[in-house]
Amino acid sequence: MKFDTVADALRNSNTPQPFSELGLKPDEYERIKSILGRRPTSAELAMYSVMWSEHCSYKSSKVHLRKFGEIKTSKNVLAGIGENAGVIDIGDGWAATFKVESHNHPSYIEPYQGAATGVGGIVRDIVAMGARPVAVMDSLRFGPPDSADVQRVISGVVAGIGGYGNCLGLPNIGGETKIHASYEKNPLVNALCVGVMRHEDVHFSKATGEGNLVVLYGASTGGDGIGGVSILASEVFDETKSAKRPSVQVGDPFTEKLLIEATMEMFASGLVEGIQDLGGAGLSCATSELASNGGAGMRVRLEEVPLRDSDLSVEEILMSESQERMCAIVRPENLEQVMKVCEKWGLKASVIGEITGEKNLVITWNYQEIVNVPPRTVAHEGPEYQRPFVMPISNSKGHTPCTGADFGLKSENLKEAILRVMSGTEVADFSAITDQYDRYVRGQTVLSANADAGLVRVSDDSTKGLAVSLDGNGRICAIDADLGTQWSVLEACRNVAAVGAIPQALTNCLNFGSPEDPEVMGQFVAATNGLATAATALDLPVTGGNVSFYNQTGETAIVPTPVIGALGVIDDVHQHASSEHLDVGDVIYVVGELLEDLSGSLLLETMGLSESTMSLPEISYENEARLITVLPALISEGLIRATHDISDGGLVTALVEMVRGHRSQALSVVPDDDVEPFVWAFAEFGGRVVCVVKGQSVARFEKVADERKLTYRRIGDVISSNYAEQALEIRGFCQFTHEELIIAFQKGMLLKH
């Protein structure tokens, strides 16, 4: 094999190098030369190019993400931004970690493998923190499902998430799937993983201790995903360029399962000092990050890396994104034990290097130096851009609420409008998707698909539960990215509160178009401002996140899609609320403040009445914070049979979603006579939740709500019905049979059974 050594670089200092083909700008290339005091070797060039790509370096976003780290919060954060995943204290010696990651571009090219490896990557991030992964979740965006290409993407993505997660043995506890034309060629696949550990098991990915060994274990290294990170994730899809199919990684969930078990065993026996997973940028990333985090030098003998393809060049070995690999830092005396664990689980393992007392990361190939770099310059001191941005014009200061009458909607057409919204893709029957995911495995799943938030018990010997919700709303973020993001944070927190948990931390996945477009960059900056504002107001840490840029086809970017993950804790999982239980005689309430406003609503979008000049209402954090604090208290007291968050499609959608699946109950409700019927049915702001209160608990419920100053309104009752009869009665206006609703739900199905 021919390869370029450090000696060659010193000798032939003027050899032209293909830096721009690797995605580096001329000034970035010059910077590498000035760091090294010579031209980089081709292996170094490969490392810098991949680590300085947008995907790995966050070079366009970093300056705007710093504000998340500056949020002051009373919550006990054990590991924050910058780690593989943030960790928070959840009490009783337990800690939880969670993170979302995007795999958008690969999922368009190769939907099954793109989505599958997205799940695999985020699970390894959780494992690297020392946690046992306990559940996965996903937030998906597709184009309108009536085109063949979108069907290809949807069915592949769903099968990929299921295929990987099911085989890995992690329950899928929910998520969301939404449709918009801008996602047609830019689907979004954001995967979340939650992990649980004891406080003492939290690990950091750093290389420390001179003489300690670097052990690579898991799958062997092949040619998959080479250049995937820097090329695939940083280029706008353009029909004039050739398909980069081979760049998508291929996943093997079986090996990942073995990798998890082996890693758990090593952590439990105290055999490893630090661990880093190999994801984007493979060995380049893992070795430079470990060394940089630990402030140590490292020597790596690249020929020790087990290869699946012996023809790989040194650059390819360094850039390969072969899945299911981990890098551990091991004391020499523990090596034998580590090897035994790997052998037990049938995993390849090899010592590829050691920690040194030097400053640099030195990589050799058969004793010849091919890399000699300060690790921080690769991993953490990459370029940082202040990209020009144009802040979107926010009309919220002069916001005027709108009602159905403003659009000429008449109350005699209420039923028709409701059925039309119910027939859309947002309120559809998602069972053809969620039935492909195992929600039971591990035996701790309390709530999953169809619930406001997924809920898992922490362990068999604890009653504590973790509730997680993932929410994004491109429709309102397109109107106002700052306020839209704030409302999205509130929705995620409300969902967690609606099952009975108190929100403790936020994570995010920020999906946008090209940062080189000042308007897109402006949307991004606005969204980060919105997230920071909401997190500060709610006293919640942002423990990590992910940015995905370049979600755009030609000049057309996706609608701004910040997806927010909220994690909440419930002390006794038995005292949770679901959205499904109804009993005849229960009383239906709406809690929270109604803003009489149809701005940004699903109704207006469905009716084609949305206008780009629209604005969103401002938020009263006092009201919102009260709702997400008081609701879990009401639930833990056992007063509430069921809850459901009011969001897309308003109150009527929430009611319909609660009654579907029931055969012998119906909901009978009366609209407020001082509110316009369309506003009553479809308004989505402010934060409100439907609470179905047990008949005998009504007085107590109202007393507690009064004491805690929570606004509530009694709107109706659960009555008996039979399947052929009514499901929902809106007294004075219209009623719906179960059958009518089922037909509507099936119209919007994205996948058929």
Partner 1 sequence: MVTFPGSLDDVDAARAVSKAGGEPVSLWHDDADIKAVDAVILPGGFSFGDYLRAGAIASLSPVVETVVKEAAAGLPVLGICNGFQILCEVGLLPGALTRNAGLRFVCRDQRLRVEDVNSPWLRNYYVGQELVIPVKNGEGCYQISKDELSELERSGMVFLRYIEENPNGSLADVAGVRNAQGNVLGLMPHPEHAIDVLTGPSTDGLGFFSSIVDSLVKAG
461 forms part of the interface with partner 1 (CB under 8 A):
no
Q: Which is nearer to partner 1, 161 or 727 (CB)?
A: 161
The span from the CA of 281 to the CA of 321, in Å, is 6
Query: Which of 167, 625, 719, 749: binder of partner 1 (CB under 8 A)?
Result: 167
Q: Which is nearer to partner 1, 499 or 616 (CB)?
A: 499
Closest CB 664 distance from partner 1, rounded Å: 17
Q: What are phi and psi of 29, to 5 degrees?
A: -65, -40
164 forms part of the interface with partner 1 (CB under 8 A):
no
Query: Which of 19, 58, 345, 712: binder of partner 1 (CB under 8 A)?
Result: 345
Query: Which of 67, 442, 581, 708: binder of partner 1 (CB under 8 A)?
Result: 442
What is the three-state SS of 172-193?
A: EEEEEEEECHHHCCCCEEEEEE
Query: Which of 41, 73, 356, 444: binder of partner 1 (CB under 8 A)?
Result: 444
Counting residues that bind partner 1 (by CB under 8 A) gives 33
Query: Which of 258, 283, 570, 659: binder of partner 1 (CB under 8 A)?
Result: 258
Closest CB 443 distance from partner 1, rounded Å: 4
- Applying CB under 8 A, the span of 133-141, 253-261, 363-371, 507-515 interacting with partner 1 comes to 253-261
Q: Which is nearer to partner 1, 456 or 502 (CB)?
A: 456
Neighbours of 264 (CB within 10 A): 18
Site for partner 1 in 561-590 (CB under 8 A): 573-574
Query: Which of 169, 374, 383, 401: binder of partner 1 (CB under 8 A)?
Result: 169
Q: Which is nearer to partner 1, 294 or 632 (CB)?
A: 632
> Comparing C-alpha atoms, which of 75, 136, 55, 92 is closest to residue 542?
75
Query: Which of 460, 461, 673, 674: binder of partner 1 (CB under 8 A)?
Result: 460
Neighbours of 357 (CB within 10 A): 8
Q: How far, CA to CA in Å, does 270 sit from each of 330, 338, 459?
A: 10, 10, 21
Task: Render 359-408 in DSSP notation, one character per residue.
Answer: SSEEEEETTEEEEEE-HHHHHTS---------PPPP-GGG-----GGGGT
> Comparing C-alpha atoms, which of 623, 675, 682, 212 is closest to residue 420?
682
The span from the CA of 458 to the CA of 513, in Å, is 38
Closest CB 156 distance from partner 1, rounded Å: 12
- Applying CB under 8 A, the span of 28-36, 159-167, 412-420, 546-554 interacting with partner 1 comes to 159-167
User: How many CA atoms lie less than 13 Å away from 731 in the CB half-sphere?
Assistant: 11
Residues annotated catalytic, as ranges: 55, 103
> Which residues, including other chains, have CB under 8 Å from residue 443's CB and lie 6 or more apart?
none
439 forms part of the interface with partner 1 (CB under 8 A):
yes
Say whether 556 sits in a helix, a strand or coil: strand
Closest CB 753 distance from partner 1, rounded Å: 7
Query: Which of 166, 396, 411, 737: binder of partner 1 (CB under 8 A)?
Result: 166
- Angle of helix 481-498 relative to helix 518-538, nearest 10 degrees? 40
Closest CB 261 distance from partner 1, rounded Å: 8
Q: What angle do CA 51, 279, 525 make, to 5 degrees?
A: 60
DSSP 220: P
Say whether 696 sits in a helix, a strand or coil: helix
Neighbours of 344 (CB within 10 A): 12
Closest CB 604 distance from partner 1, rounded Å: 36
- Applying CB under 8 A, the span of 52-60, 166-174, 475-483, 695-703 interacting with partner 1 comes to 166-174
435 forms part of the interface with partner 1 (CB under 8 A):
yes
610 forms part of the interface with partner 1 (CB under 8 A):
no
- Which secondary-structure segment (H or E) carries 124? helix 111-128
The span from the CA of 724 to the CA of 737, in Å, is 7
Q: Which is nearer to partner 1, 39 or 457 (CB)?
A: 457
Q: What are phi and psi of 230, to 5 degrees?
A: -80, -35
Query: Which of 253, 513, 544, 632: binder of partner 1 (CB under 8 A)?
Result: 253
Beta bridge partners, 468, equal 454, 567
441 forms part of the interface with partner 1 (CB under 8 A):
yes
Query: Which of 457, 626, 644, 660: binder of partner 1 (CB under 8 A)?
Result: 457
714 forms part of the interface with partner 1 (CB under 8 A):
no
The structure tokens listed for 349 are 């393992």
Closest CB 166 distance from partner 1, rounded Å: 6
- Applying CB under 8 A, the span of 29-37, 44-52, 255-263, 264-272 interacting with partner 1 comes to 255-263
Query: Which of 357, 408, 443, 608: binder of partner 1 (CB under 8 A)?
Result: 443
440 forms part of the interface with partner 1 (CB under 8 A):
yes
Query: Rule CB under 8 A: which residues touch partner 1?
Result: 159, 162-163, 166-169, 252-255, 257-258, 345-346, 434-446, 457, 460, 573-574, 753
